[in-house]
Amino acid sequence: MYKASCLCKGVELEIHGPIESIIHCHCSLCRKSSGTAYATNGFIATDSMKIIKGEALIKSYAFKPGRLRHFCSNCASPLFSSNADLPEKLRLRLGLLDSEIEERPMSHNFITSKANWDDLDADLPRYDTFEPSRLKNCLK
């Protein structure tokens, strides 16, 4: 079982089953809905997800007929997407997960529409906390 929650913790979910076909999606729709370079999504069985808390906070946006993006109406965290053509599956935003997962991403998708500043093979430094110049500003 996996636990997940939105930023404000108003919505809490449990996933009782595997997360399948995890991808990093670089399409413009995922970039815009996440506000980031890409969204990491995985499919779950619709009946494997239980809403533990905050069902009334979950609102939806129909970005295409039959396709809904569900989000927390309090903190605006994207939660999952549903597709009327595939009612047995939900596409979960993996950034919500509070649990460690066993599954791993299998690919970067729609890289031809990736943000021009996103370098998939970047050799950037990595830090355990803030980047050093940002850390100085955060401590003021």
* Whole-number Cα distances in Å, 59 to 4, 30, 88, 130, 139: 17, 18, 20, 33, 37
What percent of the chain stands above pLDDT 90? 80
Angle (CA) 91-35-108 rounded to 5° is 55
Residue 38 is predicted with a pLDDT of 93
Q: Which residue has the tokens 């670089």?
A: 26
Distance CA(61)–CA(67), nearest Å, equals 8
Q: 42-93: per-residue pLDDT in tens?
A: 999 999 999 999 999 999 999 899 999 999 999 999 999 999 999 999 999 9
For residue 56, what is the DSSP state? G
- At 125, the pLDDT band (50, 70, 90 cuts) reads confident
For 21, the domain range is: 2-138
Residue 123 is predicted with a pLDDT of 74
CATH number for position 37: 2.170.150.70
Distance CA(89)–CA(86), nearest Å, equals 6
Hey, which residues does 91 pair with through a beta bridge? 43, 81
* Whole-number Cα distances in Å, 136 to 124, 127, 132: 20, 14, 7
The yes-or-no verdict on residue 5 having pLDDT over 90 is yes
- At 136, the pLDDT band (50, 70, 90 cuts) reads low
Q: How many domains does the chain have?
A: 1
What is the separation, in whole angstroms, between the first and last Cα of the chain? 41
Residue type, 61: Y
